[in-house]
Amino acid sequence: MEYMKLILRADDLGFSEAVSLGILKAVKDGLITSVGMMPNMPSASYGYQLVKDYDIALGQHTNICVGKPLSDSSLIPSLVQPNGEFCSSKEIRSRQEDTICVEECEIEIEAQLKRFQEITGRNPDYFEGHAVFSKNFFIALENVAKRHHLFFCNPNLDPKWEEEHQLYGLPFFKEDEKGLYNPSEYM
């Protein structure tokens, strides 16, 4: 009999203290064995301190759409608003074409990797992105991952990647007219 292992990942560690505490509860309760940390968020270090002693995979959940970048915003104009904060994922998704510059994105991804390493003292177990479905973002993530010999995680977006790594993700959920979805139906 062939078995399949189900991995439940909690993303957004460090998004806020409340999100990090929710993730801690799910880890303590044994529901979550993989956690993605957002290195650019002010609560990233706090979140890491909560989960660091648990036996989990800890990845970099690279964020280019919430809060402030770690790199100089003047170096990454395709990612930021005039106030220096990231453009929202909603704004990025509404663009007619992918205007994210790969080279600029790599600057921010490298800065977030450096911050991840400063917080944790090590490399991430996996490397992926938060909420932006941009081909250029994924190219930049994969480039940085290859440069640093990191495991780039790309399920649902590349069937060839899923087959190669024997890792399969759920399809992306579809929100209703209120911006909600039913998790039971989704799973």
Q: State the Cα–Cα distance between residues 142 and 25, nearest whole angstrom.
A: 31
For residue range 169-185, list pLDDT tens digits in order.
Answer: 665 556 677 767 676 66
CATH code given to domain 9-171 = 3.20.20.370
3-class secondary-structure state, position 132: coil
3-class secondary-structure state, position 92: helix
User: What is the helix (H) or strand (E) element at residue 84, kind and residue range?
Assistant: none
Per-residue pLDDT of the chain (187 residues; tens, 9 = 90+): 777 777 788 999 999 999 999 999 999 999 999 999 999 999 999 999 999 999 999 999 999 999 999 999 999 999 999 999 999 988 988 888 999 999 999 999 999 999 999 999 999 999 999 988 889 999 999 999 999 999 998 755 667 766 676 665 665 556 677 767 676 666 5
